[in-house]
Amino acid sequence: MKKLRRLNSTFQAGVVDVGAHSIRLDIFEVSGGGKIDLLESLSRTVNLGYDVFRHGSVSPENLARLSRVMSDFSRKLDEYKVQAHRVVATSAIREAFNRELVVNRIRSDAHLDLEILEAPEEVKISFIAMRDSLRRQMEFDKLSGICLVIGTGSLLVSYFAGGLMRFSEEVPLGTVRLFDAFGRSGLSVERVIETLRSQDIGQRMMECVGLEAGRPITLIAMGASVRALTGWIAGTASERDEEDCLTLDPAAIAPTLRRIMNIDPVKLAEELKLPEEEVASAGSCAGILTYFLDAFNCRSFLSPGTTTRSALIYDLIRRNREPERSPFHDDLIAICDAIGCKYGYDPGHGRQVSQICSKLFKKLKRSFDFAPRSELLLEAAARLHDIGRFVDTRQHHKHSHYLISNTQLPGISEEELRIIATVSRYHRKSEPKTSHLEYTMLSAEDKVTVLKLAAILRVADALDCSRRGRFDKVKLVQRGHVLSAVVPESGDFRTERLYLEMKGGLFTQVFGLDVKIEEAPLSL
């Protein structure tokens, strides 16, 4: 992503979206007040999904086509003197075996840095854009339900309540994938439903957020095929403004969705005013919507006009104008807590350790450098460090590492997920060693981050070893090489001191400070 200085004047920004079947460039003008106007939009068809979903790699022929299109788009960005841009690829390229080759070719030929938009990042930015849009139109925070981002190669499913996302998962069943699996003659609502039912989406949501069967919820669906279908059903244009949100009655549209899957492709293309190659997506999309509307007792159905490209442009601006506070912070913590509940963690201990970690981090940040987003990664690790107890208590730190490593956390990259998992792995027992594969596989910078964050987590976990919240009002005072955790006199702290002696060595090695517990005869 080309960086942008904090600008208060009008400037041009661009987004290139490399999808499974087309590449699109949108160029915007952003005013100092934040108003966004579309200046030009270009789209070119390159069927990358055909290659990847069937054969696993982008073919040389399609790679050459992609390179030519990206070179044209690069010249267009230069023509507009775009000051900030983001070039991303979604499901097709991120699943391609030769994805690194594709990225290298685009950098060499078009002089553009192609970013693989991983599913956790895609669902995060889409959800934020959708939430911001709906909050301007309705009381979104009073809704609870399922949000879908339906793509050609993947389906992103999330659950939200109280204005926050609380569960998210990528399902490798996009519209074109379903069409390819059954073919036009074999594609039916029944087969789509059976395929989605086999994914056990409802079971996992029940485990994480307690979604009960039969509870009335809202379904929100995004994606090009969703906009085309709902626009046709409602009698509006499929290309809508992102502030336009269609509200449809699930019971009323159910027969129409089923009928769409049985219409002759040529006739359906004519009715939907879509190219015939996009009709496959429309039919599969109808089946996906039918499954969720039926299986989850959806009493209302919303189709916002939010697109991946609009989400990307808002994210691009937000990154440069609001760098300190992520609008997804509370969502991530809610998701971590839901994962913890799934594995039977102690929520009070998780919160207490997280709070102590936060106080230690803020104290140390005055004197020590930390990598970007370290505080957020530490908070996630503090919430999740004990989930391995679900498997086994004695070796639970190792099981926590495995469970976290195999969990999808929206807004967290694969590299960041490895850091969170490794920090959790070292919250007890031995410190990092060269014989530990999970540690040695990290980059030099990430090893330093893990050492710093694990040192903090070990101290915080030791201070709450009694699970009684005795350090809820701790005050940190540094005197020379001693960092005192000052707490009101409230009984015997021998256990905490013992655990601190056992686990505080890494903290001393990393920060050069000895941590001591100091009791004060006054309320803090």
Instruction: Assess whether pLDDT exceeds 50 at residue 284.
Output: yes
Q: Which residue has the higher pLDDT, 265 or 252?
A: 252
Pick from 277, 279, 226, 274: nearest CA to 253: 226
d(CA 315, CA 311): 6
Instruction: Assess whether pLDDT exceeds 80 at residue 37.
Output: yes
φ, ψ of residue 86 in degrees (nearest 5): -135, 130
Residue 22, strand partner residues: 45
d(CA 20, CA 28): 23
Q: Is the dihedral of CA 258, 264, 265, 268 positive or negative?
A: negative
The conformation of residue 499, written as its DSSP 8-state character, comes to H
Look-up: residue for tokens 């999970």?
438
Exposed (0-12), middle (13-18) or buried (19+): which is 400, by Cβ within 10 Å? buried
The per-residue pLDDT for 423 is 98
| pLDDT range class, residue 282, cuts 50, 70, 90 | confident
Q: What distance, in Å, lies between the first and last C-alpha atoms of the chain? A: 46
d(CA 46, CA 62): 7
Task: Using DSSP bridges, classify how beta strands 164-171 and 155-161 pair: parallel, antiparallel or unpaired.
Answer: antiparallel
The per-residue pLDDT for 2 is 45
CA distances from 322 to 31, 47, 326, 379, 449 (A): 16, 37, 8, 20, 24
Q: What number is the average pLDDT over the span 266-277?
A: 71
φ, ψ of residue 17 in degrees (nearest 5): -115, 110
| pLDDT range class, residue 320, cuts 50, 70, 90 | low
Q: Which helix (H) or strand (E) holds 257?
A: helix 250-260
Q: What number is the average pLDDT over the span 261-268?
A: 75
d(CA 236, CA 222): 16
Residues in the chain: 524
Numbers of helices and strands, H then E, in the chain: 22, 14
Q: 424-469, pLDDT tens digit by residue?
A: 999 999 999 989 999 999 999 999 999 999 999 999 999 999 988 8
| pLDDT range class, residue 376, cuts 50, 70, 90 | very high
Q: Report all structural domains of the chain as residue ranges with CATH numbers, in order of start.
A: 11-117 (3.30.420.40), 120-312 (3.30.420.150), 329-468 (1.10.3210.10)
Q: 476-500, pLDDT tens digit by residue?
A: 999 999 999 999 877 789 999 999 9
d(CA 347, CA 386): 10
Collapsing DSSP states into helix, strand and coil, what is residue 156? strand
Task: Using DSSP bridges, classify how beta strands 514-520 and 482-488 pair: parallel, antiparallel or unpaired.
Answer: parallel
Residue 478, strand partner residues: 483
Task: Using DSSP bridges, classify how beta strands 482-488 and 475-479 pair: parallel, antiparallel or unpaired.
Answer: antiparallel
Pick from 30, 26, 69, 77: nearest CA to 48: 69
- Across the chain, mean pLDDT equals 89
Pick from 127, 113, 154, 109: nearest CA to 16: 113
Read off the pTM: 0.90
Instruction: Assess whether pLDDT exceeds 90 at residue 325.
Output: no
d(CA 303, CA 248): 8
> Contact at 8 Å (CB) between 410 and 328?
yes
Token pair of 368, please?
Answer: 């020590």
Pick from 261, 215, 262, 243: nearest CA to 302: 243
Q: 116-168, pLDDT tens digit by residue?
A: 999 999 999 999 999 999 999 999 999 999 999 998 888 999 999 999 999 99
Exposed (0-12), middle (13-18) or buried (19+): which is 361, by Cβ within 10 Å? buried
d(CA 300, CA 212): 17
Collapsing DSSP states into helix, strand and coil, what is residue 213? coil
Q: Which helix (H) or strand (E) holds 89?
A: strand 84-89
Instruction: Assess whether pLDDT exceeds 60 at residue 3.
Output: no
Look-up: residue for tokens 């039977």?
344
Instruction: Assess whether pLDDT exceeds 90 at residue 273.
Output: no
